Amino acid sequence: MKIKDIRALRGPNYWSIRRPKLIQMTIDLEEMEEKPTNTMPGFRERLEQLIPSLYEHRCSEGVPGGFFQRVDEGTWMGHVIEHVALELQTLAGMDTGFGRTRGTGKPGEYHVVFDYMEEEAGIRAARMAVETVQAVIDQQEISLEPFIQELREIREKTRLGPSTGCIVDEAAKRGIPFIRLNKYSLVQLGYGVNQKRIRATIASTTSSIAVDIAGDKEDTKDLLEAAQIPVPTGKIVRDEEDLQSAIKKIGYPIVLKPISGNHGKGATTNIINWEQAVKALAEAKVYGRSVICEKFITGFDFRVLVINNKFVCAALRTPASVTGDGVHTIEWLVNETNKDPRRGYGHEKVLTQIKLDSFTQKMLDDKGYSLDTIPAEGELVLLKPTANLSTGGTSTDVTDEVHPSNIFMCERISKIIGLDICGIDIMAPNLRLPITENGGAVLEVNAAPGFRMHIEPSEGIGRNVAEPVVDMLFPQGSNGQIPIIAITGTNGKTTTTRLTAHIAKAAGYKVGFTTSDGVYIQNQLMMKGDCTGPVSAQFVLKDPTVDFAVLECARGGLLKAGLAFQQCDIAVVTNISEDHIGLGGISTIEQMAKVKAVVPETVKKNGFAILNADDDLVYEMRKNLHCNIALFSMNEHNPRIQKHSKQGGFSAVYENGYVTIMKGAWKIRVEKVANIPITYGGKATHNIMNTLPAILATYLYRNITVEDIRQSLQTFTPSPNQTPGRLNLFEFKHFKFLVDYAHNPAGMQLLCDFVEKMDGTPKVGVISGTGDRRDEDIREIGRISSRYFDEIIIRQDKNLRGRSAEEIVKLLVEGINENKEKKIPVTIIYNEREAIMHAYNTVKPGSLITIMCDVVAEALDLIKELKEKEDKE
């Protein structure tokens, strides 16, 4: 078996709208295509012995053991690999369950699709699953534990931490979208101008000066002490002389910790003699020149969480420890403690397993213990210097026990330091009494406090501490979103996108839009090239200046990675025709329609899907949608439009020379087609068609008026600036150049319909075929060209996409030669620039030269250069 491709889908996709995170592996079963599971003696038994938990997989049978029933009946190895990939992830603490295995259309080749929680782990699980199944087939010994541990480690390395993760989850519950901005904990919540950012539990609203103050223990202590907050007496020391002076003033026991340290690094507590103090000073100075020496406060370690200057919760923290039984060693006790089912690897469970490391060794050394020491019965042996849950510590919720005086003090501390999210460390006998009365003290104030101890305490009630964070960032009524209009289809997407963006901009919005020629932010080109995939869409959604997004969504991006957004407000489907058939596992036009249907299926319940009522495949999409439907048609008498109007629906039609919006049976005539430049007075029929969904989409957004739309239609021209490569007409003194990006038979037919209506004789076509299209599609380009052009120049794209130039030319010529009615001169010039220059140098007066351009910008630049040269003569 051979893996041919593995890709991670990250948004709504061909396989599932509700499960955006999917791995799609393309695998060739090779000789195993002829060997289903029921033809392989002992296969089921070996697989069940290796992974007994597969019994829980219900598969299509819908009952436990359903998958093994399918194995007994006979299923193919792609299906088995799907289930093994899912179970490997589940065994590694990533609960997954959705999968599909479907043929690609090629014998023995399958798409194996399954969901994942962490992308890197999902990709690795795909490869592991193939290796595992191959081992079962070959009857080779294989251990899954190394695979499972590797997946656990990948999970811990790549997942959002519990603090960041719970905030993201809370935001998602409220419909607030998010984008992970790096591989760590920097996350964007919301889109465009309405976005907020978090990094762990620091928010974009958090004061940087407050974070700086909290990071300096001396400054923090000085501010709190000046505000009459009880803090341990202490002094900054830099050498042994300073240390000796401080001890004389403070007295033992003391604590030494670096001024700018965190997570307990370099800190030593309960120092009771000079030898320990000197050693602790050296360890603290590893992390900074200045060290704080404080009185060691006896009591318990509490963490109080304050968000938006309001008390949220409190926890009692206990460092990782074991209790002696007078019989067993410390190492044995640790191993027994780690058998607690609540303890797991990293953050996978409520508690983390205790790891014996250098910190543990130091703690034991300070007591004169080793791992072989047998502590007395009932003796508590601390194994870590701090009570972090990530190192095996435990937490107990004490929120309901905190005295009002302590709540007031903590809320006041958050304002004194200036932190909107802060964790306050208190050492005290308890928090039931004011710490001013029981001898407690505030030890530290932490920016970016961990939330895990509060959301999953070892004992007590878990607290939804993410809720007040999201409340603070997004007050009631806001969800961080901006309007998104998504446009898909076969032809007309770019023109519709540009016109929609132009209307929104004219209405006062700061628009970001993506097209097949680039990404634009407020009409400034930011990225060049085909930018119709999810990366380009995210570029727009990340931009903090954008308050309106118009996103062209093409087939390629949908199949490779899915959509960049979970939901949109309005979706447009222009049309479906036979382009890109045979690519990416899409073999029929019906499958292509399913790909394009992903976009309208993401429309919000109260949004609109705008469908072409003249296209059967597009109109059929309405049956699977859960949003409002709006239609457009070039014929106001289309029965589908009439039925929709009688039901009170919205539509846009071309009638009596107008583009018109219909609200039920009422007509709102927006503008005469004669006054819309991109229609060339109505000759460019396909641009009338492209105008209809654009005016309907912007009208349905409600905040854009008919007058805004009308003025925009009048000012949107088929120029290289506004619609590059879309019916750009250059009028020279004695002939005309027409530049268009038509690249498939349907687009070519629309272009030629327009050319036929244009003045100019002879009509010269500079054409090409796209290498990754079907033979029949390339021939059809030739056939169409032969019906409308008097002379043809065949050029080639820069990227031949898997074919030779000679093969493409041969297919085009075959199509041209099928026209027996006239003999058409054909010239073959591979280079696009040279082909254009040949047309220019051999032009006959009165000619109309039509160019199917490949690299739009280069073609336009050349023709503009020729025009400027002529104008100077």
For the record, the structure tokens of 266 come out as 């370099």
Look at strands 791-794 and 826-828 and give their pairing. parallel
SS3 assignment, position 349: coil
Write the CA distances from 311 to 165, 307, 308, 404, integer angstroms.
21, 7, 8, 10
Residue 264 has what pLDDT?
A: 67
Contacts 24+ apart (CB under 8 A), 243-248: 243/277, 243/278, 243/281, 243/291, 243/293, 244/274, 246/293, 247/274, 247/277, 247/293
Look at strands 254-258 and 178-180 and give their pairing. unpaired
Which helix or strand (DSSP H or E) is residue 525 part of? strand 524-528
| Alpha-carbon gap, residue 856 to 858, rounded angstroms | 6
Establish whether the linkage from the previous residue to 20 is cis, with ω within 30° of 0.
no
| Alpha-carbon gap, residue 412 to 435, rounded angstroms | 14
3-state SS, one letter per residue, for 601-636 = HHEEEEEEEEEECCCHHHHHHHHHCCCEEEEEECCC
Cβ pair 255, 267 in contact under 8 A: yes
| Alpha-carbon gap, residue 421 to 205, rounded angstroms | 9
Write the CA distances from 852 to 823, 832, 869, integer angstroms.
21, 10, 23
For the record, the structure tokens of 383 come out as 């194994």
Which helix or strand (DSSP H or E) is residue 659 part of? strand 658-663
Q: Where are the alpha helices (DSSP H) in 339-490?
A: 358-367, 404-417, 435-438, 452-455, 466-473
What residues have CB less than 8 Å from 777, skipping those under 6 apart?
Answer: 578, 579, 581, 744, 745, 769, 770
Look at strands 763-767 and 109-115 and give their pairing. unpaired
- How does 795-814 read in b/e, with b if 16+ C-beta sit within 10 Å? bbbeebeebebeebbbbbbe
Model pTM? 0.89
Cβ pair 595, 510 in contact under 8 A: no
Using only C-alpha atoms, the chain has a radius of gyration, in whole angstroms, of 35
One-letter identity of residue 401: E
For the record, the structure tokens of 635 come out as 């014929």
Burial (CB count within 10 angstroms: exposed 0-12, middle 13-18, buried 19+), residue 665 = exposed
Cβ pair 725, 853 in contact under 8 A: yes
Which helix or strand (DSSP H or E) is residue 188 part of? strand 186-189
Establish whether the linkage from the previous residue to 449 is cis, with ω within 30° of 0.
no
For the record, the structure tokens of 500 come out as 């929609």
DSSP string, 274-333: HHHHHHHHHHHHTT-S-EEEEEPPPSEEEEEEEETTEEEEEEEEE-SEEE--SSS-HHHH
Low-confidence ranges of the chain (pLDDT < 50): none
DSSP count for the chain of H helices, then E strands? 29, 38
In terms of Cα–Cα distance, which of 497, 484, 523, 499 is closest to 671? Answer: 499
Contacts 24+ apart (CB under 8 A), 106-109: 107/33, 108/28, 108/29, 108/30, 108/32, 108/33, 109/4, 109/26, 109/27, 109/28, 109/29
Residue 262 has what pLDDT?
A: 65
Residue 127, number of CB atoms within 10 A of its CB: 14
Residue 261 has what pLDDT?
A: 66
- How does 103-117 read in b/e, with b if 16+ C-beta sit within 10 Å? ebeeebbbbbbbbbb
Residue 348 has what pLDDT?
A: 77
For the record, the structure tokens of 664 come out as 């039920």
Cβ pair 630, 611 in contact under 8 A: yes
Residue-wise pLDDT for 380-393, tens only, equals 999 988 788 888 88
Residue 347 has what pLDDT?
A: 77
Residue-wise pLDDT for 701-744, tens only, equals 878 999 999 999 999 999 999 999 999 999 999 999 999 999 89
| Alpha-carbon gap, residue 837 to 859, rounded angstroms | 10
| Alpha-carbon gap, residue 119 to 27, rounded angstroms | 19
- Give the bridge partners for 255, in sequence order: 294
DSSP string, 229-270: -----EEEESSHHHHHHHHHHH-SSEEEEETT--TTTT-EEE
One-letter identity of residue 227: A
In terms of Cα–Cα distance, which of 397, 414, 389, 407 is closest to 463? Answer: 397
Strand order in the sheet with 99-103: 2-9, 22-28, 109-115, 99-103
Which helix or strand (DSSP H or E) is residue 501 part of? helix 493-506
For the record, the structure tokens of 644 come out as 């929709």
Residue 421, number of CB atoms within 10 A of its CB: 30
Which helix or strand (DSSP H or E) is residue 189 part of? strand 186-189
SS3 assignment, position 103: strand
